[in-house]
Amino acid sequence: MKARELITDIQRFAVNDGPGFRTNVYLKGCPLRCAWCHNPETITSYPEIYWKRRLCVQCGACLEACGDDAVNPPVPPEVSQREGSTYHKIVRGKCTLCMKCIDACHYGALEIVGRPMSVEKILDVVEKDRPFYANSGGGLTLSGGEPTMHMEFSDLLLAGARERLIHTCLDTNGFCSWEVLERLIGNVDIVLYDVKHLDSLKHEQLTGAGNELILANLAKLTRTETEVWVRIPVVPGFNDDIEFHREASRFLSALPGRIARLDLLPYHNWCEDKYGWLGIDWEFGQIEAMEPSFLEIHAELYREKGIRTSVGGSGFEFVGTRAAEM
Protein backbone atom coordinates (compact mmCIF):
# COMPACT_ATOMS: atom_id res chain seq x y z
CA MET A 1 0.00 0.00 0.00
CA LYS A 2 1.43 3.37 -1.01
CA ALA A 3 1.85 5.86 1.79
CA ARG A 4 2.16 8.71 -0.70
CA GLU A 5 0.99 9.54 -4.22
CA LEU A 6 1.88 12.19 -6.77
CA ILE A 7 -0.25 15.33 -6.47
CA THR A 8 -0.18 17.98 -9.20
CA ASP A 9 -2.20 20.59 -7.31
CA ILE A 10 -4.45 21.27 -4.34
CA GLN A 11 -6.86 23.94 -5.49
CA ARG A 12 -8.64 25.79 -2.70
CA PHE A 13 -11.98 27.65 -2.94
CA ALA A 14 -13.10 25.82 -6.09
CA VAL A 15 -16.81 26.23 -6.91
CA ASN A 16 -17.41 24.01 -9.95
CA ASP A 17 -16.69 20.51 -8.63
CA GLY A 18 -19.40 19.77 -6.13
CA PRO A 19 -21.52 21.80 -3.70
CA GLY A 20 -20.17 24.90 -1.98
CA PHE A 21 -16.52 25.84 -1.64
CA ARG A 22 -14.35 22.82 -2.44
CA THR A 23 -10.71 21.91 -1.96
CA ASN A 24 -9.81 19.96 -5.09
CA VAL A 25 -7.00 17.41 -4.84
CA TYR A 26 -5.54 16.39 -8.21
CA LEU A 27 -3.88 12.97 -8.41
CA LYS A 28 -1.43 12.28 -11.24
CA GLY A 29 -2.20 9.48 -13.68
CA CYS A 30 -5.17 8.71 -15.97
CA PRO A 31 -6.06 5.66 -18.13
CA LEU A 32 -7.74 7.84 -20.78
CA ARG A 33 -6.13 10.22 -23.26
CA CYS A 34 -8.86 12.76 -23.97
CA ALA A 35 -7.77 14.98 -26.85
CA TRP A 36 -9.30 18.08 -25.19
CA CYS A 37 -8.03 17.33 -21.66
CA HIS A 38 -7.92 20.50 -19.53
CA ASN A 39 -5.41 18.99 -17.08
CA PRO A 40 -2.66 17.54 -19.29
CA GLU A 41 -0.22 17.54 -16.38
CA THR A 42 -2.33 14.83 -14.68
CA ILE A 43 -2.29 12.32 -17.55
CA THR A 44 1.02 10.54 -16.93
CA SER A 45 1.69 8.82 -13.63
CA TYR A 46 5.26 10.08 -13.19
CA PRO A 47 6.75 13.51 -12.39
CA GLU A 48 7.20 15.92 -15.31
CA ILE A 49 8.81 19.30 -15.90
CA TYR A 50 7.10 22.56 -16.76
CA TRP A 51 9.17 25.10 -18.68
CA LYS A 52 7.57 28.55 -18.40
CA ARG A 53 9.10 30.54 -21.21
CA ARG A 54 7.92 33.93 -19.88
CA LEU A 55 10.02 33.46 -16.75
CA CYS A 56 13.11 32.13 -18.50
CA VAL A 57 16.01 34.61 -18.79
CA GLN A 58 18.10 32.15 -20.83
CA CYS A 59 20.97 32.20 -18.31
CA GLY A 60 22.23 28.72 -19.24
CA ALA A 61 22.35 27.37 -15.67
CA CYS A 62 20.06 24.45 -16.54
CA LEU A 63 22.26 23.53 -19.51
CA GLU A 64 25.31 23.34 -17.27
CA ALA A 65 23.45 21.21 -14.73
CA CYS A 66 22.11 18.66 -17.21
CA GLY A 67 24.25 15.61 -17.84
CA ASP A 68 21.94 14.02 -20.39
CA ASP A 69 22.14 16.56 -23.25
CA ALA A 70 18.44 17.21 -22.63
CA VAL A 71 18.55 21.03 -22.47
CA ASN A 72 18.69 23.27 -25.52
CA PRO A 73 21.35 26.03 -25.51
CA PRO A 74 20.19 29.54 -24.56
CA VAL A 75 18.81 31.93 -27.13
CA PRO A 76 17.88 35.60 -26.61
CA PRO A 77 14.74 35.75 -24.41
CA GLU A 78 12.93 37.83 -27.01
CA VAL A 79 13.45 35.01 -29.51
CA SER A 80 12.09 32.25 -27.24
CA GLN A 81 9.14 34.40 -26.14
CA ARG A 82 8.20 35.61 -29.61
CA GLU A 83 4.68 34.63 -30.69
CA GLY A 84 4.84 31.44 -32.74
CA SER A 85 8.29 30.48 -31.46
CA THR A 86 9.00 26.73 -31.62
CA TYR A 87 11.92 26.96 -29.20
CA HIS A 88 11.57 24.77 -26.12
CA LYS A 89 14.09 24.48 -23.31
CA ILE A 90 13.75 20.74 -22.55
CA VAL A 91 14.55 18.01 -25.09
CA ARG A 92 11.83 15.68 -23.85
CA GLY A 93 13.09 12.59 -25.66
CA LYS A 94 16.43 12.75 -23.86
CA CYS A 95 15.25 13.91 -20.44
CA THR A 96 15.66 11.33 -17.66
CA LEU A 97 13.76 13.46 -15.13
CA CYS A 98 16.75 13.76 -12.82
CA MET A 99 15.44 17.27 -11.97
CA LYS A 100 18.94 18.80 -11.74
CA CYS A 101 17.84 21.55 -14.12
CA ILE A 102 15.10 22.57 -11.71
CA ASP A 103 17.54 22.82 -8.83
CA ALA A 104 19.75 25.04 -11.01
CA CYS A 105 16.98 27.44 -12.08
CA HIS A 106 16.74 30.53 -9.86
CA TYR A 107 13.90 32.21 -11.77
CA GLY A 108 11.05 29.71 -11.40
CA ALA A 109 11.04 28.94 -15.13
CA LEU A 110 11.46 25.21 -14.50
CA GLU A 111 9.06 23.46 -12.16
CA ILE A 112 8.33 19.88 -11.08
CA VAL A 113 4.82 18.71 -11.89
CA GLY A 114 3.74 15.96 -9.53
CA ARG A 115 5.06 15.87 -5.97
CA PRO A 116 4.49 12.99 -3.53
CA MET A 117 2.20 13.79 -0.61
CA SER A 118 0.86 11.67 2.23
CA VAL A 119 -2.80 11.30 3.15
CA GLU A 120 -2.25 13.16 6.42
CA LYS A 121 -0.44 16.05 4.74
CA ILE A 122 -3.23 16.45 2.18
CA LEU A 123 -5.94 16.33 4.85
CA ASP A 124 -4.09 18.93 6.90
CA VAL A 125 -4.29 21.29 3.89
CA VAL A 126 -7.96 20.44 3.32
CA GLU A 127 -8.70 21.03 7.01
CA LYS A 128 -7.61 24.67 6.75
CA ASP A 129 -10.78 25.52 4.82
CA ARG A 130 -13.23 23.89 7.23
CA PRO A 131 -14.98 27.22 8.10
CA PHE A 132 -15.79 27.71 4.41
CA TYR A 133 -17.21 24.19 4.13
CA ALA A 134 -19.54 24.77 7.06
CA ASN A 135 -20.92 27.99 5.59
CA SER A 136 -21.28 26.78 2.00
CA GLY A 137 -21.86 23.03 2.18
CA GLY A 138 -18.43 22.36 0.65
CA GLY A 139 -15.62 19.91 1.31
CA LEU A 140 -12.99 17.77 -0.41
CA THR A 141 -13.19 16.81 -4.08
CA LEU A 142 -10.78 14.07 -5.16
CA SER A 143 -9.94 14.48 -8.83
CA GLY A 144 -7.12 13.96 -11.31
CA GLY A 145 -6.10 12.40 -13.48
CA GLU A 146 -8.21 9.53 -12.32
CA PRO A 147 -8.55 8.62 -8.62
CA THR A 148 -9.61 5.04 -9.37
CA MET A 149 -6.09 4.40 -10.74
CA HIS A 150 -4.87 4.87 -7.17
CA MET A 151 -7.52 2.87 -5.33
CA GLU A 152 -5.66 2.17 -2.07
CA PHE A 153 -4.49 5.76 -1.66
CA SER A 154 -7.82 7.25 -2.73
CA ASP A 155 -9.67 4.99 -0.31
CA LEU A 156 -7.42 6.05 2.58
CA LEU A 157 -7.79 9.73 1.70
CA LEU A 158 -11.58 9.59 1.41
CA ALA A 159 -11.87 7.53 4.60
CA GLY A 160 -9.64 10.05 6.39
CA ALA A 161 -11.86 12.90 5.26
CA ARG A 162 -14.93 11.01 6.43
CA GLU A 163 -13.32 10.49 9.86
CA ARG A 164 -12.78 14.25 10.09
CA LEU A 165 -16.43 14.85 9.12
CA ILE A 166 -15.45 16.51 5.83
CA HIS A 167 -17.90 16.20 2.93
CA THR A 168 -16.41 14.25 0.01
CA CYS A 169 -16.85 14.20 -3.77
CA LEU A 170 -15.20 11.70 -6.11
CA ASP A 171 -14.57 13.05 -9.63
CA THR A 172 -14.20 10.03 -11.94
CA ASN A 173 -14.34 9.03 -15.59
CA GLY A 174 -15.66 5.60 -14.55
CA PHE A 175 -13.06 3.68 -16.57
CA CYS A 176 -12.25 1.08 -13.92
CA SER A 177 -13.57 -2.20 -12.59
CA TRP A 178 -16.85 -2.02 -10.72
CA GLU A 179 -15.12 -3.54 -7.69
CA VAL A 180 -12.81 -0.50 -7.47
CA LEU A 181 -15.64 2.01 -7.81
CA GLU A 182 -17.85 0.11 -5.38
CA ARG A 183 -15.11 0.17 -2.75
CA LEU A 184 -14.42 3.90 -3.10
CA ILE A 185 -18.03 5.06 -2.88
CA GLY A 186 -18.22 3.70 0.66
CA ASN A 187 -16.57 6.93 1.80
CA VAL A 188 -18.08 9.30 -0.78
CA ASP A 189 -21.05 11.66 -0.44
CA ILE A 190 -21.33 12.59 -4.13
CA VAL A 191 -19.85 11.02 -7.26
CA LEU A 192 -19.14 13.42 -10.14
CA TYR A 193 -19.31 11.07 -13.12
CA ASP A 194 -18.12 11.96 -16.63
CA VAL A 195 -20.09 10.88 -19.70
CA LYS A 196 -18.30 11.94 -22.87
CA HIS A 197 -20.11 10.07 -25.65
CA LEU A 198 -22.61 7.25 -26.11
CA ASP A 199 -21.02 5.92 -29.30
CA SER A 200 -18.11 3.70 -28.27
CA LEU A 201 -16.15 4.14 -31.52
CA LYS A 202 -16.36 7.95 -31.35
CA HIS A 203 -15.47 7.79 -27.68
CA GLU A 204 -12.38 5.70 -28.44
CA GLN A 205 -11.25 8.01 -31.25
CA LEU A 206 -10.78 10.97 -28.91
CA THR A 207 -10.18 9.31 -25.53
CA GLY A 208 -8.21 6.17 -26.44
CA ALA A 209 -10.78 3.71 -25.06
CA GLY A 210 -14.33 2.54 -25.66
CA ASN A 211 -17.16 3.47 -23.32
CA GLU A 212 -18.87 0.14 -22.56
CA LEU A 213 -17.30 -0.18 -19.10
CA ILE A 214 -18.02 3.47 -18.28
CA LEU A 215 -21.72 3.26 -19.14
CA ALA A 216 -22.12 -0.11 -17.40
CA ASN A 217 -20.55 1.30 -14.22
CA LEU A 218 -22.85 4.31 -14.34
CA ALA A 219 -25.91 2.07 -14.49
CA LYS A 220 -24.66 0.10 -11.47
CA LEU A 221 -23.80 3.29 -9.62
CA THR A 222 -27.33 4.66 -9.95
CA ARG A 223 -28.62 1.53 -8.20
CA THR A 224 -26.63 2.40 -5.06
CA GLU A 225 -27.56 4.97 -2.42
CA THR A 226 -24.69 7.28 -3.47
CA GLU A 227 -25.70 10.66 -4.89
CA VAL A 228 -24.61 10.91 -8.55
CA TRP A 229 -23.96 14.06 -10.55
CA VAL A 230 -23.33 13.31 -14.23
CA ARG A 231 -21.05 15.74 -16.04
CA ILE A 232 -20.80 16.02 -19.83
CA PRO A 233 -17.81 17.99 -21.13
CA VAL A 234 -19.25 19.49 -24.32
CA VAL A 235 -16.56 19.58 -27.01
CA PRO A 236 -16.99 21.25 -30.44
CA GLY A 237 -17.20 18.75 -33.26
CA PHE A 238 -17.40 15.81 -30.85
CA ASN A 239 -20.60 15.97 -28.80
CA ASP A 240 -21.99 19.48 -29.19
CA ASP A 241 -24.73 18.61 -31.69
CA ILE A 242 -28.36 18.60 -30.59
CA GLU A 243 -28.94 15.01 -31.69
CA PHE A 244 -26.28 13.71 -29.30
CA HIS A 245 -27.88 15.52 -26.39
CA ARG A 246 -31.34 14.35 -27.37
CA GLU A 247 -30.04 10.78 -27.29
CA ALA A 248 -28.10 11.39 -24.07
CA SER A 249 -31.19 12.80 -22.34
CA ARG A 250 -33.09 9.64 -23.24
CA PHE A 251 -30.23 7.44 -22.03
CA LEU A 252 -29.79 9.19 -18.68
CA SER A 253 -33.53 9.32 -17.95
CA ALA A 254 -33.78 5.56 -18.63
CA LEU A 255 -31.01 4.55 -16.19
CA PRO A 256 -32.13 1.96 -13.61
CA GLY A 257 -31.65 4.47 -10.79
CA ARG A 258 -31.76 8.21 -10.33
CA ILE A 259 -29.11 10.82 -11.03
CA ALA A 260 -29.38 13.88 -8.80
CA ARG A 261 -28.04 16.39 -11.27
CA LEU A 262 -26.49 16.90 -14.71
CA ASP A 263 -23.81 19.49 -15.49
CA LEU A 264 -23.04 20.49 -19.07
CA LEU A 265 -19.45 21.76 -19.08
CA PRO A 266 -18.65 24.02 -22.06
CA TYR A 267 -15.27 23.50 -23.70
CA HIS A 268 -12.54 26.06 -23.08
CA ASN A 269 -8.90 26.40 -24.13
CA TRP A 270 -7.65 28.25 -21.05
CA CYS A 271 -5.25 25.39 -20.33
CA GLU A 272 -3.22 26.03 -23.50
CA ASP A 273 -0.29 27.41 -21.51
CA LYS A 274 0.06 24.11 -19.63
CA TYR A 275 0.45 22.21 -22.89
CA GLY A 276 3.15 24.67 -23.91
CA TRP A 277 4.92 24.28 -20.56
CA LEU A 278 5.00 20.50 -21.15
CA GLY A 279 6.27 20.90 -24.71
CA ILE A 280 3.09 19.46 -26.23
CA ASP A 281 1.62 20.75 -29.49
CA TRP A 282 -2.10 20.84 -28.60
CA GLU A 283 -4.40 20.71 -31.61
CA PHE A 284 -7.48 21.72 -29.61
CA GLY A 285 -5.79 24.94 -28.54
CA GLN A 286 -6.89 26.48 -31.83
CA ILE A 287 -10.57 25.94 -31.00
CA GLU A 288 -12.26 28.91 -29.37
CA ALA A 289 -13.84 28.57 -25.94
CA MET A 290 -17.54 27.76 -26.06
CA GLU A 291 -20.04 30.39 -24.94
CA PRO A 292 -22.01 28.85 -22.02
CA SER A 293 -25.30 30.37 -23.19
CA PHE A 294 -25.00 28.22 -26.35
CA LEU A 295 -25.75 25.15 -24.20
CA GLU A 296 -29.00 26.41 -22.70
CA ILE A 297 -30.91 24.91 -25.64
CA HIS A 298 -29.18 21.58 -25.02
CA ALA A 299 -29.92 21.82 -21.29
CA GLU A 300 -33.65 22.09 -21.94
CA LEU A 301 -33.64 18.60 -23.49
CA TYR A 302 -32.57 17.15 -20.15
CA ARG A 303 -34.89 19.32 -18.11
CA GLU A 304 -37.80 18.10 -20.21
CA LYS A 305 -36.88 14.60 -19.06
CA GLY A 306 -37.04 15.70 -15.43
CA ILE A 307 -33.25 15.88 -14.96
CA ARG A 308 -32.00 18.80 -12.87
CA THR A 309 -29.49 20.46 -15.21
CA SER A 310 -26.95 23.25 -15.00
CA VAL A 311 -24.58 24.81 -17.53
CA GLY A 312 -21.08 25.27 -16.13
CA GLY A 313 -21.48 23.24 -12.96
CA SER A 314 -21.47 25.93 -10.26
CA GLY A 315 -21.68 24.31 -6.84
CA PHE A 316 -23.85 27.11 -5.51
CA GLU A 317 -26.89 26.41 -7.65
CA PHE A 318 -27.92 23.35 -5.66
CA VAL A 319 -26.46 22.47 -2.27
CA GLY A 320 -27.12 18.87 -1.21
CA THR A 321 -28.83 18.43 2.15
CA ARG A 322 -26.07 16.23 3.53
CA ALA A 323 -23.50 18.92 2.82
CA ALA A 324 -25.68 21.62 4.34
CA GLU A 325 -25.91 19.70 7.59
CA MET A 326 -22.14 19.36 7.97
- Interval 141-155: pLDDT, tens: 999 999 999 999 999
Average pLDDT over the chain, rounded to whole?
Answer: 94
Distance from chain centroid for Cα 127:
21
For 281-325, what is each residue's pLDDT tens digit? 999 999 999 999 999 999 999 999 999 999 998 876 533 333 333
Residue 1: pLDDT over 90? no
- Residue 322: the pLDDT is 35
Q: What is the CATH number of domain 4-44+116-325?
A: 3.20.20.70
Q: Give me the DSSP letters along 177-230.
A: -HHHHHHHGGG-SEEEEE---S-HHHHHHHHSS-SHHHHHHHHHHHTSSSEEEE
Predicted local confidence at residue 2, as pLDDT: 63
Which architecture does CATH list for 48-113?
2-Layer Sandwich (3.30)
Neighbouring C-beta atoms of residue 288, cutoff 10 Å? 9
pTM above 0.85, yes or no: yes
Q: Tell me the domain boundaries of the chain.
A: 4-44+116-325, 48-113
